Amino acid sequence: MTDFTDDELKLDPDFATRFERDVRRPPCQLYLISPASVDATFTDRLKAAFDGGSVAAFQLRLKGIDEDAIARAAEPMQRICADHDVAFIINDSMELAKRLDADGVHLGQGDGDARAARALLGPTAQIGITCHDSRHLAMEAGEAGADYVAFGAFYPTATKETQHQPEPSILSWWTTLFELPCVAIGGITVDNAQPLIDAGADFLAVSGAVWGHPQGPDAAVQEFARLLARPKE
């Protein structure tokens, strides 16, 4: 799966504009990521977000605190996700995902690989791998048993330092060749998401555009729901 030359992997920059999504593939969905820090009001905001429309998954991505503190913060959020039939995903730590019996884990390139996560978490866990702008990393993740690959950051983002910025055509290339879902991530808003949807993203990973919405997270999710329901022109 990974025995391709660089020339064979070179993308036509216009590929995304010509891409047509396979009608048998599920439509693009919303994948919500937490802020880097939360307070006591966050559970109410999370409920409001889920009340705004369909969310496929919620990733808990807290920074600057230890795993015991993350575990304590996670418990009420995990219950809310279960009540709303939203997959509860832990960022970075497969050990914490195991401890919490989370639905899955999202791993960066320095957080371990999909094989190790599968061995620890079992066959039903959802395992995602950050692949930046690399087709090689994505194919390796697929070979290792990942359940999805994530590309980005597509746009500038304040959530984390951006070192890789792929073109939307990488989504079209992946979706044309592989059944494994792909996630678009990085600075995504209602105003800039359409090219990523049209290019073939299976999920839009969104954080700041929801939690920073001036009318609240429910209004933000409603806006994304309307966008995702819009037929391609």
pLDDT tens-digit series, residues 182-231: 999 999 999 999 999 999 999 999 999 999 999 999 999 999 999 999 88
Domain 27-229 architecture:
Alpha-Beta Barrel (3.20)
pLDDT in tens, 27-45: 999 999 999 999 999 999 9
| Cα–Cα distance measured from residue 219 to residue 209, given in angstroms and rounded to the nearest whole number | 10
Cα dist from 72 to 60, 79, 168, 214, whole Å = 12, 12, 38, 28
Give burial (CB, 10 Å; 0-12/13-18/19+) of 118: middle
Q: Give me the pLDDT at residue 204, please.
A: 98
Q: Residues 183, 218: contact at Cβ < 8 Å?
A: no
Could you tell me the residue ranges of all domains in the chain?
27-229
For 46-86, what is each residue's pLDDT tens digit? 999 999 999 999 999 999 999 999 999 999 999 999 999 99
pTM (two decimals): 0.93
